[in-house]
Copies of this chain bind each other. A is one copy, B any other.
Amino acid sequence: MLRISKLTDYGTLIMTHMAGQPERLHSATDLAETLGLGLPTVSKVLKALGRHDLVTSLRGARGGYALARPARTISVADIIDALEDQPFGLTECSTTTGLCDLEANCRIRDNWLMINTVVRRALEEVSLAEMVSPAALGTGVHLIRGPDSRAKQPLS
């Protein structure tokens, strides 16, 4: 239904919150209480974010999580990539090949790939920094970002 999963939504929420206080270390318990989410859920999300190097973690007592890089170099697309299981793509045939048999089917495949690119670009354009201070959002004025704000995997 053209919707991100709740976990991805939570992830964005968590990341945005952490971006607001970049110095602190945030424990999963802290985040869960502050944001009104379940602790197991928050843990799950943070683990996935850590696996994709969007947050760093410190184990042991007084440990916690922090953003792995400056908020302005993390895009919404990065968070989606980290938390959605399947690769980015509006249709199945956008990400996997060999599923369509019919000629007409393949006729619109290229179109979906194009549309994907456009949608994805829109999501890459929004950084966490902009989520925290939305002033610049949607005005056409975007912050300048480093090269790692680009998605690691180009569109398939």
Contact = CB atoms under 8 A, between A and B. Distances in A.
B9 A1 contact: no
A13 B105 contact: yes
A156 interface: no
A101 interface: yes
Interface in A90-126: 90-92, 101-102, 104-105, 107-108, 110-111, 114-115, 117-119, 122-123, 125-126
Number of copies: 2
A63 B76 CA distance: 48
A79 B105 CA distance: 16
A80 B118 contact: no
A9 B109 CA distance: 10
A88 interface: yes
Contacts of A84: 1-2
